Structure 1
Amino acid sequence: MKNLLNLFFPKVCPGCSAHLGDYEDYVCLECRHELPLTNFHFNGDERVKNVLYGRVPLEHATSLLHFSKKGIVQQLLHNLKYRGQEDVGLFLGKWLGQELKNLEAYRNIDLVVPVPIHKAKMRKRGYNQVHKFGEEIAAALQVPFNNKILQKRSSTKTQVFKDRLRRLDTDKSTFRVADENELKGKHLLLVDDIITTGATVEACAQVLLNIEGVSLSLATMAMTD
């Protein structure tokens, strides 16, 4: 049946658009081998944490991939955000989740929370590009995933291609928490697609860390070089 479906509705790699083989899952083997893994969570590299040094007290922080303009990761994230290819988030979430679940640093996570998008963007796109990524990580860590608790008040343009100063001017009142009591005393893992200057994470952290007993860690699909 799978071969018959592939004959009429062939699956293509979101990285290079080549048809996927029977044993390839979401990304072709060639693109998978080309993905620039950071291995931050394995080698103790605190580069992601250092982006927010002095601004957000993170317990742990990591990114799965290095992001560079015109590279394969940019292509993957573009397909995820603008071409409806949600399976990219699923694929990357499964990958990172399987790695984090074996690490002591991530075994005391209580809840996975995605960086939200505004309801206007949700209506236009139809999904939050971080949703499946976060769901897969939560499943691997065997903790709940909550995409309703952190909400975005106002719509802002994408951060990736903004200049540094404008990214740092992200409105600190952009986000709100629906029910603070649900988060009290918990270690949250905030998940996002990409970290650049950390302005979006900082804005989220300002409302999350204002809740009694909350501690915060971060995991993203990619980090800009």
Structure 2
Amino acid sequence: MRILRDFFHLFYPKLCGNCEEQLVFNEKTICTLCRHDLPLTNFLSFTNNSVTKTFYGRIDIEKGYALLFFRKEGITQKLIHELKYRGNEEIGELFGNWIGEIILEKEAFKDVDFIIPVPLHPKKLKQRGYNQVTKFGITLANQLAIPFLENELVRVSSTKTQTLKARFERFSNIDTKFLLKNPEYFDNKHIVLIDDVITTGATLESCANEFQKSENCKISILTMAIAELMY
């Protein structure tokens, strides 16, 4: 088996998701050098950081966390682009495992009942073929032993690509609508909304508003990255 694996890697080498250099056998998804260059947020608190501050006065957030800072033309942007547009779902798996390890080490999110991804509109899902946060969510859920629910929250209207919108339009986000199929199912539950990147937080706010239709539903937010330019 080792000979076959070596032969496969010789002709079909695994490349780093950032620098595209060939990975060695003890590396996965990104190389060691690129991993050390990742702009980690190093948030020490899950209740008072840039994620939770984003939603002050907008929605009540129990806890929040983002692994990386998102910088224009930076390594985080390159990796998210690889995940979102080039089908490299191993990046989502990498971040899911990484965040899961941090949460377990900090013993946070012990009372969470479900992990919920921000959904794509059905047309966008059909076009892309996958939701970029699904593998991330499944991996994180497995790490934390928490159910991953992908079909309870649905997007019922599509919007233009976020990067093509002005900041004010992204903030208002009036064209983005979501629907929670069974609000009563989440009565007295604690859910974690997950997404790839927080920019203005408008999309996550729209999702959270649906869960506020449930009685006494607590909401937390986890993402791979948060835009550093906001702070």
Superposition RMSD on alpha carbons, in Å? 1.6
Task: Structure 1: state its 5+ residue gaps.
Answer: none
Percent identity, please. 41
- 1:130 pairs, out of 108, 128, 133, with 133
Report the Cα offset of residue 47 of structure 1. 1.1
User: 1:157 and 2:193 equivalent?
Assistant: no
**Do 2:159 and 2:175's aligned partners in 1 also have CA atoms closer than 8 Å?**
no
Q: Give, in whole Å, the separation in 2 of the partners of 1:33 and 1:167.
A: 32
Q: In the alignment, does 2:106 pair up with 1:103?
A: yes
CA–CA distance in 1 between the matches of 2:44 and 2:37? 19
Match for residue 169 of structure 1 among 169, 172, 197? 172
Q: State the distance in 2 between where 1:162 and 1:91 align.
A: 29
Query: Secondary structure of 1:64's match?
Result: strand
CA contact (8 A) 2:158 2:175 kept: no
Q: Is 2:194 the partner of 1:194?
A: no
Q: How far did residue 20 of structure 1 move?
A: 0.9
Aligned 1:34-183 pairs, distance under 5 A: 34-41=37-44, 45-160=48-163, 162-171=165-174, 174-183=177-186
1:29 has 2:28 as partner: no
Alpha-carbon shift at residue 63 of structure 1 (Å): 0.3
CA distance in 1, matches of 2:175, 2:134: 22
Aligned-residue offset at 1:3: 1.7
- Number of residue pairs matched? 225
Verify: 1:221 aligned to 2:221, yes or no. no
Cα distance per residue 1:49-106 (max 9 Å; x no partner): 1111000100000100001000000000011111111111111111111111233431
CA distance in 2, matches of 1:173, 1:164: 15
Is the CA contact 2:137–2:194 (under 8 Å) kept in the aligned structure 1?
yes
- Aligned mate of 1:5, from 8, 12, 26: 8
1:41/1:193 CA distance change after superposition, 3 Å:
farther
Alignment correspondent of 1:185: 188
Aligned partners of 1:126 and 1:16: how far apart in 2? 25
CA distance in 1, matches of 2:165, 2:60: 25
Structure 2 gaps of 5+ residues are: none
TM-score w.r.t. structure 2 length?
A: 0.92
Q: Partners of 1:53 and 1:152 in 2: how far apart?
A: 24
| Mapped partners of 2:29, 2:207: distance in 1 | 30
Contact 1:172/1:206 (<8 A) preserved = no
